[in-house]
Structure 1
C-alpha cells in the first residue's frame, strides 16, 4: 500500500514526466466524486427499502418520499459516473479493481437513467405495466450502487477494509509472516542467499503493499509486483536507487511516523523494524531481482530418503556415537573440545531440561556423594523415569508446537478442541513418535484438535482457508516445511508451486478445492497428492477420514527421512540451544553436520521412535556435558556461517522461571488457575506438587511477558532476546511482587538469622552457597533482625541474576 500523496505531487511530477498537467477544473470535478457518490448509495438504497412497504398499496402515504429519494439518488448516481472517470484519469489510478468499479458504476448510471424514465411515467398515471419495471430497475439499481460502493471503498481503504476487523482476521498477519534472518544477508551474497533475500523482500511487499500497488489496483501509477514496474517507479518518479538506500524514496517513506502525509503504507499497519531493515539491506546490495521466472532452480532441497552414514572410527573417551560425529566436525573446522561442566552445573542442566525444575539442595548433595563412575547417566535415566514431571515439562514444548492451549476464542465458539489429556498421556506413556503423529493426522476425538482446531478461524482468505491452514501446519510441524508463501502463489523462497500446496490441502478437505492465485479463483481444481510422490498416492475419491488415514500411514513410514530429521532436530535444539538446521521449520537449509543429523534420525527410527531414548542419547553425550557458549547476539547464533562448538547458553522459559520462583519462594499461581490437572487421574498415593506448574495454567500477562506465545498459531521457537516488557514485568509486575511479598512473610516466620536466610536462598536458587562478598552484601542489606520487606529485596536481587535465569 505504498500510496504516494497525490495532492502534493500531482502537478510537478506530471511536468517532470513530460506530460501536460491536467486542467485544474477537471481535477476539481474529479475530486467531487467521493462526495457526490454517497448520495446515490444512501438515497437509492433507502428508497428501495421503503418501496418494500408499498407492495400492498402502491399509492401509500410514503410514496412522495420514495419519489424524492429515488429521483435525487438516480441523478447523483448519473453525475457520479463522469466525476469518477475524471478522478481516475487525472489522479493516476488504474488496475483491475478500478476497472471493475468503473464498469459497475457505469452500469449503475444507466440503470439510474432507466429508473428516472419510469419515475416520470408513474408520476402521471401509474399502471401495473409501469410499476413492475420501475420496481425491478429500482431494486437492481440499489444492488448495483451498493456493489459499486463496496469496490469504491476497497479502492480507497484496501480490499479487506470490511473484513480485516473481524475476529477471524485478527492474526492473519501473524499467520503469514515468518521471522526474517537479517544476519544471513549481511555478508557477501551467494546466489542461493540472493534468491532468499529477494523472496523475503517480495513477501514483505506482498503482505504490506500489493493492496494498492499491484495488478489489481495501481495507486499513483506505482506497481510493485513485477520488476519492470517497480524499478520504473510511480508518478513521483523512481522510488529506489540500487546500492543507495539513503537516497531511495521508498526508504524515507517507510520510516516516517504513522499519519504523516507521505508515510508508506498509508493504510493499515506500518512495516516493523525487521521489514524496514530488510528492504534497506536489499537496496544496499544493489536491489537484485532476476529477469523472468524461467531459470534453473538454485534452491537447496534436502533429500527425502533416510541415510545412515557409517560411524567415524572409535576414539577413547567418546563412547556416545554423537561425540564421534562432533569430534569429526571439530577436527574438520579446527575447533577444540570445551571442558566438561562440574556436577552442580550438569545436574541443574538435566533437571531443567528433563523436568523443568531446579534440583533441591538435597538432590545436589546426594549427587555429589554418589561415587559411581557412570552416575551422570544413572541420574539422567532416573529423571526420565519420572514420567509425570517429564510430561508436565515437555507439555510446554508440544503445546506451543501443536497450538494447544486451555482457553481462548476458539474454545468459546466450540471451533477449537483441547488435546491436553491426549498429549499429556502420550508424553507420560512415552508413546512412539510414529504412533504419536498417526494419531494427530488421523485423529481420535481426543487428538483431533491439531487438525480440526483451526476451524474456529473460518476462511480468512483463499490462502488461509481451513484446509490450507491444516496443510501449512502439518508441513511446518511434521515436515519442517514452509508452505505459507506457496499457498497464495508460487513460492518466492523455494520451488514449491501453488498447485502442489492445493494438492496437499485437498487431503484435509471434504471436497476438491478450486485453486486461487493471489485470492483470484483460477477455475482449476487441484489434484489430491502428498508433497512427495515417493511416499505413495492418496485416493482422491476417498472420504476425508480415509484420506487422513492414508496420509498418516504414508507420512510415518521409515522412507520419509525428512519427518524424522525434523523431530530429532527439534529435540536437539531444545537441549542444545540451536538446531543442527536453522530455522527448525526450514529443513531444506544446510545443516552444520549432515552426517550427525542423518545418523540421529536413523538411530531414532531403529530404536522404535522413542523420544525419551533420543533425549537420553543427546543428554548423555560429552558435548552436552561440556561448557556452554554465550553469544553477543541471537543473529550470531542464527548466521549461515555459524560454527558449532557446544551448547548455546539460553534463558529459562517463562514456565521454568515461574516454577523455580514458585518452588523456592512462593507459588505464583493459585490452585484454582490450573486448567488441566493430570494428578487427579493418578493413584491415591501419588503426591500432587505443592504448587501449580506453569505449563498447566492458562496464559496470562506474566507468562506472555516472559515469552509464552498465545498458541493461536504454531510456535516452534520462542523469542531468545530479552525485551522491555520482560524487564518491566520482572521489576514492577504485580504477580511476581505479590508472590515475593508472601514468600518473604513466610520465610520470616521460619528463619530469622540473616546468614541462614542468605545461605538457604542461594542453595535453593543457585545450587551453591554465597561467596564472602555476596554474604557481606546480604548481611548489610538484611541487618541483624531482617523484616519481610528486606527479605523480599534479597529475593529480587537473586532471581534477577543471570546465574539464576540462565541454563548454563
Structure 2
C-alpha cells in the first residue's frame, strides 16, 4: 500500500473535500459557471409603509415577508453591543461601555456604535489580523522558515488593516509585492519528497485563486479536475506567472513532457505576456486581478465578510464561488457597491452591521435535511480561539505574556511580531513620543565619532515619597548597564532596540541616583586610541507619584561623567564632586541615531495589553482552533471538539490565568463576595446574575471568598455557552 508523504497529503485532502462539497451542490450549466463581470442590480423599491432603508433589507424584504420575519423585533441593545463588539474588534464591551450604550437615547446609536468600533484602528487591526493570518498563511513561526523559504508579512498586514487600505490595493500589493508584503507569494519550501503540485509557484497560484477568487484549483494542480472545468493547463498556466523558467506539467506527480503557457484562469479579463520578465508578469497579474472588470474579486470578499458576520455565506462554501448564491442580486449589489466605494471594506462591514438582517435574533444551524438554505436571521457563532482568550483576558485582567520570541526575530525570520506591530503604531504616532531626552557623552564630537572605551554617568534626584509607578527607557551606543540606587537593573546591547524596565521597586523616598556604565566598543582591528565610533547614551524615566505628580528624569547636561569607576560610584552615598557635566549631542531625532520610532515602539510593547492574535501558537491556541498556517484557512470550524474540552478542563495555561484572575478580583473588590459575583457576571455576560445564579454563586464563593473559590466561579462562567457563543 502506498503511503502519501506530507507534501502530498494536502492535495489528496483538498480533492476529497472539494469533491464532497461539490457533489452535494446542484450542477451548473455553462452559462452559470464562472461568473466574472461585475453586475449592479437595481435596488428593489420599498413596499408601501416600509421602514427598511438599508439596501440589504430592501433586497431581503420579500424573504422577510415569506418567512414572516418581524423586522421590528430586533435584538436588545445588550445583545447587539456584545455581537458587534466581538464581530468588529473581537473584544467584549466593558460594563461601562455597555451601560453607556444602553442608556444612550440617540435614535441612530447603533450606527454610531458601529462607526466608533471601526474607528478604533488598533483594536480593529488586531482582531482582523487573525482572519487574514489564516487566509494568507502568515505564521509567526513554524514550517518553512529556513533557506529564505517562508517570510512573515505581519508588519505590512497590520499596517494595511490599521490604515483600512483599499481592498484592490491590498490585493495588488500581496500579488505584486511591495516592501513587507513579499511573504505571501513566496510559499513554503517543503523538505523531503514533495508532490509537484506543491511547488512554490503552484502554491502561489492555488492561494491566489482560493483567497481572492473563491476558486479551488488544487485538484487541477495534479490532474484535470473531476468536479469542475479547471484543467491541469489552467493551474500550470497561472503557476507559470511566478516561475523563472517555463514549468513542465506533472500529471498525478508524473512529468508528461509538456509545458503550459502563461495565462490567467479567467482569460476574459486579460492576457499576461509570457515572454516578459517574472516581475513584469506578476505585475500584469496583479493589474488583471484588481481590474474593475473583475467582479469575482469583490464578490468573493463581500461573501467572506457576510459569512463572518452572519455565520453563513451568500455562497456556501465560501471557497466555492462557482456555486449559486442563495441571493444573487444581493451578492452582486454588495460587490458592486464595494467597488463604487473605493474598495473600502469597512464601508461594507458598516452596511451589513447596520442592516435589520444583522440585528435580527440569531438562529441555529439549518436542518441538514433542507435541500436549500432560507435566511431567517444570523446564525449563532462560537467565539474563535482568539476571541475566547481575549474575553478571558478582559474578564481576568490577565493579558497574554510578552515572550522574548515575540519581540526579537530570529535568524530564520521567526518571531518579532510584537515589534513589527509596534513599529507600525510608532510610525503613525510619531508625535506621541513622551521622551524629550538628549543623547549625551563626554565629547562634543561623539555623535560623529570618538575613541572607544567606557564612560560612567550619574544623575541624582530627590523624591518626596516612594512612587506609585516608575519606568525607564534607555539606549546606548554601543552598550550600557543601568544601576538604580546601587543595584544593577538593566542592560542594553543594541541602541536600535531600546530597553524598557520597571524601576518602581528600586526607588525610595528621599535621595535616589541613576548610574550608568556606558561602553563605546573599539574597532577590533584597531588599537583603542585609534578607533573612532559614534557614541552616546539616552534615558528617559517616567515616575508617577501617588498624589498625581509626574516626575520626569531624562539625559541632559545635568548628568555627570567620569572615565573612572571608584568604589561605590553607583550608589547614593558616593561623592561625585569631581565629576564633570555631560555634553548634549542630539535629541531623539538627531545624530546618527534618529531613534524616535524604535523608542516609541519599545514603549508601545511595554504598555500593550497583548491580545491573542499576537501570540505564538501553543497547546491551548491549537486546541481552540488556531491553524498551523501551512495551508490556507478561510473559515475555522465552529463546532467544539473533544480536544478543546480536554484542554479547557485540564490544561495548565487556562488554569493559571483563572487563578491570577481570581487574585485580581479579590484585590479589586476587596474580597466582597457580592461585588465579585456581580462584577464577574456583568463583565463576562453583560448582565447581572439571576436570583438563582446569585444564590448558587454565593454558595460556591462563600462569605469569605478565597482564590480557589473565585477561580471556580470564573471557570463555571467561562464554560457557559452564553459566554462562548456570539448570539
TM normalised by structure 1 equals: 0.64
Partners of 1:632 and 1:624 in 2: CA distance: 17
1:310 paired to 2:46: no
- SS in structure 2 at match of 1:178: helix
* Change over 3 Å in CA distance of 1:714–1:182 after alignment to 2: closer
* Change over 3 Å in CA distance of 1:175–1:448 after alignment to 2: farther
1:419 paired to 2:337: no
Contact 2:14 2:219 in 1 (8 A): no
Contact 1:299 1:495 in 2 (8 A): no
1:700 paired to 2:622: no
Partners of 1:779 and 1:739 in 2: CA distance: 22
Partners of 2:90 and 2:267 in 1: CA distance: 41
Partners of 1:527 and 1:704 in 2: CA distance: 41
Q: Which has the higher contact order (CA 8 A, sep 6+)?
A: 2
Contact 1:629 1:647 in 2 (8 A): yes
Q: Which residue of 2 aligns with 1:561?
A: 295
- Aligned partner (choices 711, 716, 725) of residue 792 of structure 1: 711
- Aligned partner (choices 456, 460, 469) of residue 194 of structure 2: 460
1:748 paired to 2:482: no
Partners of 2:34 and 2:188 in 1: CA distance: 29
Q: Which residue of 2 aligns with 1:650?
A: 381
Aligned residues: 537
Contact 1:568 1:601 in 2 (8 A): yes
Quote the offset at 1:300 in angstroms: 5.0
The 5 A counterparts of 1:280-319 are: 300-315=32-47, 316-319=50-53
* Change over 3 Å in CA distance of 1:184–1:793 after alignment to 2: farther
Quote the offset at 1:777 in angstroms: 0.5
Q: Which residue of 2 aligns with 1:86?
A: none
Quote the offset at 1:644 in angstroms: 1.2
Larger Rg: 1
Contact 1:299 1:494 in 2 (8 A): no
Quote the offset at 1:440 in angstroms: 0.7
Partners of 2:296 and 2:40 in 1: CA distance: 13
Quote the offset at 1:409 in angstroms: 2.2
Q: Which residue of 2 aligns with 1:621?
A: 355
Partners of 1:181 and 1:753 in 2: CA distance: 56
Contact 1:401 1:477 in 2 (8 A): yes
- SS in structure 2 at match of 1:628: coil
Q: Which residue of 1 aligns with 2:210?
A: 476
- Aligned partner (choices 249, 257, 266) of residue 515 of structure 1: 249
Quote the offset at 1:490 in angstroms: 1.1
Quote the offset at 1:679 in angstroms: 3.5
Partners of 1:622 and 1:527 in 2: CA distance: 49
Partners of 1:566 and 1:526 in 2: CA distance: 27
- SS in structure 2 at match of 1:522: strand
1:572 paired to 2:306: yes
Root-mean-square deviation (CA, aligned residues, Å) is: 2.4
The 5 A counterparts of 1:86-125 are: none
1:771 paired to 2:708: no
Q: Which residue of 1 aligns with 2:131?
A: 397
- Aligned partner (choices 408, 426, 433) of residue 142 of structure 2: 408
1:499 paired to 2:233: yes
Q: Which residue of 2 aligns with 1:360?
A: 94
Quote the offset at 1:330 in angstroms: 3.4
Quote the offset at 1:334 in angstroms: 6.2
Quote the offset at 1:528 in angstroms: 1.0
Q: Which residue of 1 aligns with 2:598?
A: none
Contact 2:36 2:294 in 1 (8 A): yes
Partners of 2:136 and 2:348 in 1: CA distance: 20
Quote the offset at 1:414 in angstroms: 2.8
Q: Which runs of 5+ in 2 are unaligned?
A: 407-415, 435-602
* Change over 3 Å in CA distance of 1:778–1:653 after alignment to 2: same
Contact 1:433 1:611 in 2 (8 A): yes
Partners of 1:416 and 1:730 in 2: CA distance: 32
Q: Which residue of 2 aligns with 1:664?
A: 395
Contact 1:668 1:736 in 2 (8 A): no
CA offsets, 1:41-65, max 9 Å, x none?
xxxxxxxxxxxxxxxxxxxxxxxxx
The 5 A counterparts of 1:317-328 are: 317-328=51-62
* Change over 3 Å in CA distance of 1:182–1:490 after alignment to 2: closer
Partners of 1:496 and 1:171 in 2: CA distance: 18
Q: Structure 1 or 2: larger strand share?
A: 2
- SS in structure 2 at match of 1:662: helix
Contact 2:187 2:203 in 1 (8 A): no
The 5 A counterparts of 1:39-50 are: none
Quote the offset at 1:417 in angstroms: 0.5
Q: Which runs of 5+ in 1 are unaligned?
A: 2-156, 194-296
- SS in structure 2 at match of 1:623: helix
- Aligned partner (choices 659, 663, 676) of residue 417 of structure 2: 676
Partners of 1:486 and 1:719 in 2: CA distance: 25
Q: Structure 1 or 2: larger helix share?
A: 1
The 5 A counterparts of 1:127-526 are: 157=2, 164=5, 173=12, 178=17, 185=24, 192=27, 300-315=32-47, 316-331=50-65, 337=71, 339-455=73-189, 460-526=194-260
CA offsets, 1:385-407, max 9 Å, x none?
11011000000000000000101
* Change over 3 Å in CA distance of 1:632–1:475 after alignment to 2: closer
* Change over 3 Å in CA distance of 1:459–1:478 after alignment to 2: farther
Partners of 1:514 and 1:422 in 2: CA distance: 34
Quote the offset at 1:768 in angstroms: 0.6
